Amino acid sequence: MSSTKYTLDHIEDGYAVFLKYPEEEEQLIILQSAMNKPVQVGDRVLIEEIDGIYQIEILQEETEQKKAEIQSLMDRLRKKNQ
């Protein structure tokens, strides 16, 4: 299996719910104990399954860029509503 890019949408009851990037329509649900490292909501990652363990590479630069874009949008909305 090749690596596929996802964004972590949320964590619920010990499962991480990822949305396939960029469409974010297809979900991948992984038991947290089956992942090779912890991730945080909003992280953009590459995921590859190897022998039942999900190898996750956090795409730090893309994650930070997306978080900055979201913060900018939130700031503009706050200013607009004042």
CA distance 15 to 79: 36
Walking along the chain (82 residues) 10 residues at a time, the average pLDDT comes out as 89 96 93 90 93 91 92 91 80
Q: φ and ψ at 64, to 5 degrees?
A: -65, -40
Domains of the chain by residue range: 4-80
Its pTM stands at: 0.81
The residue ranges of DSSP E strands in 21-71, in sequence order, are 27-31, 44-50, 53-58
> Exposed e or buried b for every residue in 42-64, given b needs 16+ CB within 10 A?
ebbbbbeeeeeebbbebbeebbe
> DSSP assignment, residue 38?
-
Fold held by 4-80? OB fold (Dihydrolipoamide Acetyltransferase, E2P) (2.40.50)
**Beta partners for 17?**
10, 29
What local confidence, expressed as pLDDT, does residue 50 receive? 87
pLDDT of res. 1: 57
